[in-house]
Structures are given as structure tokens and as C-alpha cells.
Amino acid sequence: MKTIKNLFLMLSVIAASMFGAGAANAATCSAGWVNVTGVYEYNVNGTTYGYIYTVPEHSVLPTYTNYFVTYNQNALSQAKLAMQNHQTYYLYGDSGTAACPTSGSYRYLGTLSYLYEY
């Protein structure tokens, strides 16, 4: 049953990425299966936004951290629960550049576009 669920999830990801709208020069960056390590939420003039920090799943000593920004309160709540419950998520971001970052200790993957639970 879990194999069917994973297959359906991956097909949904592919379909969503094919039909999703984005900026002409923006890249959709996948962080892959990750563990949430930090969620920082801010409220400026009534607008809530936050940053979600992640490390790759099964990484004993991670060499880099991915992070996203989001204005979606539900995504921030889900990320907080994932961190609390040690759940694994699959995250996509819109990096806003032509390529996703592949170097550096902190890799900004843009605005969070998709968040899938494992």
C-alpha cells in the first residue's frame, strides 16, 4: 500500500510541476526528502511570513542547509509539526534564478511552492 501511495505522490509532484505557473526565468528547485530543522515566523504590519530550514533526510552530519521563505500560515504550521514530530517532507521552491544553488552552507531555494508529507 505504501508503494502505491509513494507512486501516486510522485505522479502528483510531476503533474503539479508541469502545470504550475511561474516566472519566466525562475527555476523550480527540489530540496528532496528533508527533515525540518528550524521554522522562524515573523509578523510585519499584519503580514505573516517565515523561513523554513531543512537538511537532507538520513544525513548524519549535513554539509549544507536549504531554506525557503513562505507567506502561507498553513505551511509554517505544517513545518513546525514536522519538526516537532520528526516527520520527513518533500519541498519545492521557486529560486527566482535560472539555476538552483548547488554550493554553499546555506542554500536559498526561494519561495516555498509545494510541501508534501512522507
pLDDT tens, position by position, 12-71: 444 444 334 333 445 788 888 999 999 999 999 989 999 999 999 988 888 999 999 999
pTM above 0.85, yes or no: no
Spell out the long-range contacts of 44-51 with Cβ–Cβ below 8 A and sequence spacing 24 or more. Answer: 47/71, 48/73, 48/76, 50/76
- Which segments of 20-115 does DSSP mark as H helices, in order? 73-85
Q: Class of 2-117 per CATH?
A: mainly beta
What pLDDT is stored for residue 105 in this prediction?
A: 93
What pLDDT is stored for residue 28 in this prediction?
A: 86
Which DSSP letter does residue 87 get? Answer: -
CB 105 within 8 A of CB 49: no
What pLDDT is stored for residue 13 in this prediction?
A: 40
